[in-house]
Each structure stands twice: as structure tokens, then as C-alpha cells.
Chains A and B, each alone.
Chain A
Amino acid sequence: MDASNYLYISALLFTIGAVGVVVRRNAIVVFMCIELMLNASNLSLVTFSRINGDLDGQVMAFFTMVVAACEVVVGLAIIVAIYRSRRSASVDDASLLKR
């Protein structure tokens, strides 16, 4: 199977994630969409690693996972704080700051 197909899937996942960020309201879902984008990138990395025949891409994918985990920690902390104070996880409710 042609490796480039994985790239197309990766791009598709990335796009889905990006669109999800824009269209979904729930902060958790938005965040998951971002994770989807990161994982799409990982898929690309691994694919390229395969194409190039070295391990750098795979190593980088591992780093990404670690970083994503860190992001989850920070992100959930923030989202929980917001949810506690607002009783809502909708990102549209948090729109005090504008213009």
C-alpha cells in the first residue's frame, strides 16, 4: 500500500480536528479536536519516518505524545477552573473579553 495514503488520512484527520475546533462549543470537545490534530501530525511523522527509512519521526511522535499529555494537564486544569466558576463548559460563554 502506498505510504502516501497515510498522509491523506493524516491530512483528513487534521482537517477534521481543525474544523471541530471551530464548530464545537464544549471546551472538552474542542480540546479533543486539538488532540486529534496533534495525532494527525503524529501519523504524518510516523509515515514520513517510514518513507524516509529512519527513526527520527517516530522519536518525535513520542515526544509529541508526552507534550500532549502535559497539555492535557494544563488544559484540563484551566477548563475545570472555568467550569467551576461558570458552571458551563461552553467556550462561547467565555466571551467577556472582546473588541
Chain B
Amino acid sequence: MIFTSPALSYTLLSPILILLGGALIGVLVEAFVSKALRPVVQLTLSLGTLMLALMQVWRIRGEESLTPAMGSLVIDGPAVLIQGSILIIAIISIFLIADTEQFTPLAAALPGSAEERQAEQAGNQVTEVYPLTLFAVSGMMIFPIATDLIMLFVALEVLSLPLYLMAGLSRRRRLASQESALKYFLLGSFASAFFLFGAAYLYGFSGSITFSGIQAAVVGGTGNDVLLLIGMSFLSIGLLFKVGAVPFHSWTPDVYQGAPTPITAFMAAATKVAAFGAMLRIYYTVFANAEWSWIPVISAIAIISMVLGSLVAIAQRDVKRMLAYSSIAHAGFLLSGIIALNKSGLDATIFYLFAYGIATVGGFAVVTLVRDSSGEVTDLNRWKGLGKRSPFAASAFALFLLAFAGIPLTSGFIGKFSIFSAAYENGATAVVITGVLSSAIAAFFYIRVIVLMFFTDAVEDGTAVEIPSILTRATVIIAAVITLVLGIYPAPVLDFITDLAIFIR
């Protein structure tokens, strides 16, 4: 047996390598840098890593390769776009994570124990959240460019495991936070098991663990369709779980609510991008020729996601839960981009993902601002009159809500328009009509929040808006600007996406 060293294209892989390297250095920093310096060092390190990775992504735009890592990964236009989106979202999320007020000083300490108080008084900070974030980002970067089942599974776990932990790090309401971590972990592993089982059957169907092999089997139509269908379904369960589509959505509200808000922001935005990035690649290339089998199923899932997400969101009293249900509805909208199965669907989905991700981070960023003496206030009733107390926070939040609702002149509208027209092009009339109608329902609760903020008199209960740092403010502003610009003049971005977004097989 001759051992040939693997041929790796380091330039194309550099963004991922940089991230992994940064994450490992972060671990070392935890070990060797003094407590006082750690926050600054970690923040700088993470930001630097992310920026560098983003620069590398920018540099490799337009490059295409099926074999940057021996056929396990692929770099093409969509890959670059998804990776870029993830990095941009990660950067503005890091700004939020930098607000250490949000995190418990000592994750190991019992909630409410003396130990915890001591740690708090000592000014301890869980700086390990930075390397965790970088690891998660690395997983997210790999997930949409993986081209074999092993890579896909490993990437899925690499992105998930740090998130499970990060969900449990909240400083306030630690019990809830830990609970959310538990739920996220158990359900996530549960879904992973389905995913893996599906992967096994796909392997059984095609005799290959590479996407190209599976695709060839699908095209050839020689394999056992039952194996294909089971494999496809169970693999999809894993993916649909990650994007939070009904009926695999149940973790979303609880985890979104329980996790520290900066983590929720990061998770809600970046995971969705990564997971949909992977779905796009899998459905547009691997399963494209089996569309007869999955389009009806995904359509049904899209429809119930949109409807259920919108309906239940109406009844929410907690802003984070409401955004969670809204994200379920958005998962439905995004699935119509998968159903589209055409070039415009691909462009539209990528655009939508970016626009939605940015607005989501912006929205949660505003949530972190609204506080009382014991921390964040997420009860919507206490958001009354926010417009008077902080026009900045309230108008920004209103803008993000309008973007979620898909009101023209926000990015959400362009996204919705393009994704629905792509789906309609592929004959998904029912999905489009449900999408439009559930947008109307969705508008109902977005507008209700706007009413609360602007048209309801404030209750004096100590709820105030605090801007913890320039970074959080920057997040809100950047997100708002992007949301507006993409709504008013999206042409450059759209053209950029259209030019780049071509899958290579």
C-alpha cells in the first residue's frame, strides 16, 4: 500500500483553516493569558480571525474547484457567498457577544450559589465563548461546502456542539438557560441520529459516500428507491431540524428564549445560513433528479412551517419567542427557495439568507438593549412606549420587523419577492399563495410590536434602554443600514449573487 499525501488547495481552504487556527489559539489563550487581559485578547483574536477569513473568502471569490480537499469539499460561487454571509453575520454577532454582561461568570457554578457570586464579584468572564464561536463558525463554513457524507456529518457536529454549550451560558435565568442547552443538545443529537441513519441508507443506495456518487446513482436510477427515499428523508430531518422547519422546529422557541441573546442572534442567523447552504447544495445537485419525490414533501413542510410559525407567533408575549416563531415561518419561506430548484431560486435563497440573517442579528441586538435592573426585558408588555424612551432602539427594531414582514424598501421585501417568484416559476403556486397569506398573518404580530413600542404609553417599571458598548450599537447600525440598502438598491448585491451563484458538480 502506497501512502500518497493528500493534495490540498490551501488557498481555497484558507478561510476555514484560519478559523480553526484562530479557535485553537483561543483555547491556548484561555490557558495562558491572564484573566484580566483575556477578554480583550480573545475579542481581538476572534474579530481578527473572522476578518481575515472574510478577506480570504473575498479573495477566492470566482474560484471554482471540485477538489480543494480530495473531493471532500468544494469551492464554488454559492460556497463563497454562503461563507461570506456566515462570516459577516459572525462578525456582527461577535460585537454582541463582547457584551459579557450577558454571560455567566462561571458556568460550572450552581445558579445562585456563593461560588457564582464570588466569580461575579471577581469580574470573571466566560471568555471561552469566543473560541467556541470560532469552532461553530468553522463548522458552519464547512457544512455547506462538504461534498461527502462524512464531511457533512462532522461539520454538522462541529457547528452544533459549541452551540449546545453556548446556549447554557446565560447570566440571568440560568436555569432556563441550562434547560435550553439540554433541550437543544438532546433534540440536536436526536436529529443527528436521524441524519446519520439517513446518510447510511444513502450510502447503501448508491454505494458511495460522495455527493457525486450519490447523484450519479440518482440520475442512473439503478439503485433501490426505498433506500434512496429513506436515506433522503432521514438526512432531511437532520437538515430541517437545523433550519427549524415544522415539525422539527420544537427546539427553536425554547432555545431561542433560554440562550443568552447574543448567542441566540448568532445561532438564529448563522445556523440558518449554513444549514440552508447545505440544503441548497444537496437538493440542487445531489437530489435534483429525484425532485418528483421530495418537492411535494418539502412543499408541505414549507406550507405548515409558514402557517404554524405565523399563527403561533401572534400569541406570543415574549419577544425572543416571538422572533423564534417568526424564524420558523421564515424557514418555510426559505424552503420555497429550495422548492424552486432553478437558478433564480438559488440566487433568491442566498439573497434571502443574507438579508434575513443580518436583520435577525440586528433584531436580537436590539433585544439585548432593553433592560431593567435584573437584565434583559423580553416581556413584550414591558416594551410599551419604547419609542418614546429610545427612538433609536425602537425605530431600528421597527425596521427589522418591517423587513421580516417583507414591507417594500426593506431587504425582506426583495427577498420575499425573489424567492416567491422563483418558487412560482417552478409551479409551486400553493406555496406562494400560502406564503403570501401567512405574510399577512405575520404582519399582524410584527405590527403589534410596533404598536406596543410607538403607540402605547409607557409603564414606569424601570425598563430602560442601555447601550452597553459601541460594538452593540455598531451591530444595530450595520444591520439597519444593510437592511435598508438591500431594500432600496439591491441591484449590486443581486448581480453579484447572480454572477457567482452557480453550483459546480
Contacts and interface: CB of A to CB of B under 8 A. Distances in A.
- Is chain B in direct contact with chain A in the complex (CB below 8 A)? yes
Interface of A: 7, 10, 14, 17-18, 21, 27, 30-31, 34, 37-38, 40-42, 44-45, 47-49, 51-52, 54, 56-57, 59-60, 63-64, 67, 70-71, 74-75, 77-79, 81-82, 84-86, 91, 94-98
A82 to B, nearest CB: 5
Contact of A85 (B161, B175, B193): B175
A45 B205 CA distance: 11
A30 B194 CA distance: 15
A14 B197 contact: yes
Nearest to B213: A56
Contacts of B161: 70-71, 74
A30 B207 CA distance: 32
Which of the listed residues B150, B168, B189 has the most CB atoms from chain A within 10 Å of its own CB?
B189
Of the listed residues A14, A48, A49, the one surrounded by the most CB atoms of chain B closer than 10 A to its CB is: A48
B111 A85 contact: yes
B253 interface: yes
A63 B153 contact: yes
Interface stretch (B22-30, B89-97, B176-184, B368-376): B176-184
Range for the number of chain B residues in contact with chain A:
35 or more
B257 A63 contact: no
A74 B176 contact: no
Contacts of B180: 97
Contacts of A54: 207
B201 interface: yes
B190 A34 contact: yes
A14 B237 CA distance: 15
Given A78-B164, A96-B175, A45 B193 contact: no
B164 A44 contact: no
Nearest to A95: B179
Contacts of B110: 84-85
A55 B200 CA distance: 13
B19 interface: no
B235 to A, nearest CB: 11
A59 B150 contact: yes
A98 B254 contact: yes
Contacts of B384: none
12 contacts: A17-B193, A34-B186, A34-B190, A37-B190, A41-B197, A60-B153, A60-B200, A74-B185, A81-B168, A81-B178, A84-B110, A97-B257
B428 interface: no
Nearest to B112: A85
Given A18-B193, A57-B203, 14 more contacts: A31-B189, A37-B194, A37-B197, A38-B189, A44-B200, A44-B204, A48-B204, A52-B203, A70-B161, A78-B178, A78-B181, A78-B185, A82-B182, A85-B178
A84 to B, nearest CB: 6
B208 interface: yes
Interface string B107-143: 1101100000000000000000000000000000000
A75 B193 CA distance: 14
A52 to B, nearest CB: 4
A5 to B, nearest CB: 14
Interface in B224-249: none
Contacts of A67: 153-154, 157
A57 B178 CA distance: 36
B376 to A, nearest CB: 15
Tell me the interface secondary structure of chain A in the complex: helix
A97 B181 contact: no
Contacts of A38: 189, 192-193, 196
A88 B196 CA distance: 30
B199 A41 contact: yes
Contacts of A59: 150
Nearest to B254: A97
Contacts of A70: 157, 161
A23 B194 CA distance: 17
A94 B182 contact: yes
A75 B189 CA distance: 9
Query: Which 9 A-B pairs have CB atoms at the shortest separation, nearest pair first?
Result: A37-B193, A48-B204, A44-B200, A97-B254, A52-B207, A41-B196, A94-B179, A41-B197, A56-B209
B149 interface: yes
Contacts of B190: 18, 21, 34, 37
Nearest to A11: B197
A57 B231 CA distance: 14
B182 A27 contact: yes
Given A41-B193, A91-B182, A56 B168 contact: no
A75 B175 contact: no
Given A30-B186, A34-B193, A41-B193, A77 B179 contact: no
Nearest to A76: B185
Contact of A81 (B108, B153, B209): B108
Contact of A74 (B164, B204, B208): B164
B186 A27 contact: yes
A88 B63 CA distance: 53
B176 A96 contact: yes
B11 to A, nearest CB: 26
A70 B165 CA distance: 12
A48 B208 CA distance: 10
B194 to A, nearest CB: 8
Given A44-B204, A45-B200, A60 B182 contact: no
